[in-house]
Amino acid sequence: IVEKVLSSHLIDGELRTGTEIGLKIDQTLTQDATGTMAYLQFEAIGKKEITTELSVSYIDHNTIQVGFENADDHRYLQTVAARYGIVLSRAGNGICHQVHLERFGRPGKTLLGSDSHTPTCGGIGMIAIGAGGLDIAVAMGGGAFYLASPKVYKVNLTGKLKPWVTAKDVVLKMLETLSTKGNVGVIVEYGGTGVATLSVPERATITNMGAELGVTTSIFPSDDVTRQFLKAEKREKDWIELVADKDAKYDRTIELDLSKIEPLFATPHSPGNIKTVKELAGLKVDQVAIGSCTNSSYTELVRLSKIMKGKTVHPDVSLGIAPGSRQVLQMLAREGYLADLIASGARILESSCGFCIGNSFSPKSGAVSIRTSNRNFEARSGTKDAQVFLSSVETAAAAALTGKVADPRDLGIDYPKVDQPKEFLIDDSMFIFPNTKASSSSEIFRGPNIGEPPRNSKLPERLTGEIMIKLGDKITTDHIMPAGARLKYRSNVPKYSQYVFENNDATFHDRCLKNKEKGVGNFILAGESYGQGSSREHAAMCPMYLGVKAVIAKSLERIHAANLVNFGIVPMTFKDPSDYEKIAAADKIEFTDIKKAIESGADHVVLKDVSKNQEIVLNLNLSARQRKIVAAGGKLNSLA
């Protein structure tokens, strides 16, 4: 399946594992937290209109609107969409991935989104990939999206899930099997007899959290189940069949018997720390949050309502529910399920990212919070010492009712049977469809929160400076560029830059700016899997603004490494990972021939540690195209 979709979209390179390929992108999506920069960069590129089949701009992340900043961003997004022929999904319409799956996802097509959970639409048979905003801007203008030709792992699903065990538990099992690191450059393709037992939203839960595996994307076949889903969305014409050939070959095959899976948790502070719910039974719970792009489909929330009906949320628990889309919320409301949830004491939250990104519903100090979302990184909930556990809706409901972790199979309730409706409620009135493909006369609103996209300077002959921070393994983009309450500064890079590594070392910003003023380069040193998590290009853009010249790590995650290149920061990895121990924070370092090494195609460069009088060899794992971008000081410069 992967090969079929990739080869029909290949516009540069050849499908040979590890080499760089360029893909034609059919659809793009953005959300408001990454979207403003994506569209500012689209404007900077200077194209008159989009050339994709469909581009949608969602307003779903920053809907809290404390202060004028988010409202400014939303107005900018609405007006820039009208100018260039982009569909706008207004605040209140739901979370981009859930809404895109419902209304726009099409099997066999490619989708590029400025959000790491874009692979959600892999559940409907798309090659759906997350990337930085600048890559989306280029794709909207007709440019290819470049990535390493992937390895393909097949997950052979057999059997059928037992009652109270869900698609969320399947993907948590995948995280236990593959972990959150070491999967860069892989696409996961699901197949086997178990596929037909999973609905499209269940498949989407599984592909959604492929982001946590660190794979490029995940994809399911497009079969009769897909057809029925599209039919219920009144989009049957968008269906095509997409199945693997019988003799298809894969780089690796993983067997997964659905009937053997049991309810699982990801425990603090990584989606890869998996334990069974049984192991943790009895742990006191303070908060339960249900929703996010991972688990907020109609069937799940109807089932939740049936579980909660006639009961009251435990007095020590605060239960929040954020339905993933307005379609789901409206259906729950019209069919009475919402009333039962309200009656149970649930706090109904807006149909948006909200609690998942920590911009609302933060738990109390030291709380145990059970969430159905996909990331439990430290401090992401907005409360640094909170312990966040990720689970299915069913496991979360059991905690909400009992006040402690409980295996939902022990609730003593019959598993509520809920089928996908024959027809979903179709109401597209919260989309603004552009009148003409491009309306050059419409004016673009720019409030004071809308800044200019920053640019880097060309790569100099040599780089000298200081290691500004030494970090451990699995540093996420939430560590680099905190979201939550800081999200509203996304369109204002000087302001947002004040918070780089805020939770690791609050002096980072000031120290970097001082060096930058003196012409001294700043360098980041990190362990394995640097840049996990979000696609936010701000995790490269803001360090670039602070004068960061290179990131030296044991390994780097795909989207973040690409973003570093896009902003002219050189990504480097250790030839010998044990050399990481030899360098310390505050070491003075230099790369005497960096420009030559980059431009000549050298696969390594020598770091001179002046403080310790030692030399360390670092890999330069860059394509010829990426070398040009880095030398130019970033993609915007290289396009000029």
Q: Rule CB under 6 A: which of 358-417 touch ligand SF4?
A: 373-374
Tokens 């001294």: give the residue: 520
Nearest partner of 217 among 116, 297, 95, 294, judged by Cα: 116
Q: Rule CB under 6 A: which of 477-506 touch ligand MIC?
A: 483
205/491 with CB nearer ligand SF4 = 205
Compute the distance between CA of residue 48 and CA of residue 314 in angstroms, rounded to an integer: 56
152/357 with CB nearer ligand MIC = 357
Q: Mark 96-115 with x for binding to ligand SF4 (rule: CB under 6 A) and - for no binding.
A: -------------------x
DSSP for 414-459, please give it: PPPP-PPPSSPPP--TTEE--SSS--TTSPPP--TT--PPP-PPPP
357 binds ligand SF4 (CB under 6 A): yes
522 binds ligand SF4 (CB under 6 A): no
64 binds ligand SF4 (CB under 6 A): no
Q: Which does 407 bind (CB under 5 to 8 A by kind): ligand MIC, ligand SF4, none?
A: none
Query: Residue 571 pairs with which residues in a beta bridge?
Result: 551
Q: Which does 341 bind (CB under 5 to 8 A by kind): ligand MIC, ligand SF4, none?
A: none
Q: Which residues contact 106 (CB under 8 A, 6 or more apart)?
A: 26, 27, 124, 126, 238
Q: In what order do the strands lie in the sheet with 252-257?
A: 217-219, 186-191, 151-158, 252-257
129/598 with CB nearer ligand SF4 = 129
115 binds ligand MIC (CB under 6 A): yes
Q: Which residues contact 590 (CB under 8 A, 6 or more apart)?
A: 462, 463, 464, 465, 607, 608, 610
Kindly tell me which residue out of 86, 95, 289, 524 binds ligand SF4, with binding defined by CB under 6 A.
95
DSSP one-letter code for 550: E
DSSP reduced 3-state for 186: strand
Q: Which does 95 bind (CB under 5 to 8 A by kind): ligand MIC, ligand SF4, none?
A: ligand SF4
Q: What angle separates helix 200-208 from helix 96-103, to the nearest 10 degrees?
A: 140
Nearest-5° Cα angle at 537, 535 to 542: 140
The rounded Cα 186 to chain-centroid distance in angstroms is 16
112/551 with CB nearer ligand SF4 = 112
86 neighbors 53 (Cβ within 8 angstroms): no
Pick the stretch among 246-254, 342-350, 445-453, 532-540 that binds ligand MIC (CB under 6 A): 532-540
CA distance to 54, 146, 254, 386, 564, per residue, from 112 (Å): 11, 11, 27, 33, 18
Pick the stretch among 351-359, 381-389, 452-460, 603-611 that binds ligand SF4 (CB under 6 A): 351-359
CB of 291 to ligand SF4, least distance (A): 7
CB of 292 to ligand SF4, least distance (A): 4
536 binds ligand MIC (CB under 6 A): yes
34 binds ligand MIC (CB under 6 A): yes
Residues at the site binding ligand MIC, with contacts judged by CB under 6 A: 33-34, 61, 115-117, 130, 357, 483, 533-536
Residues at the site binding ligand SF4, with contacts judged by CB under 6 A: 61, 95, 115, 117, 292-293, 353, 356-357, 373-374
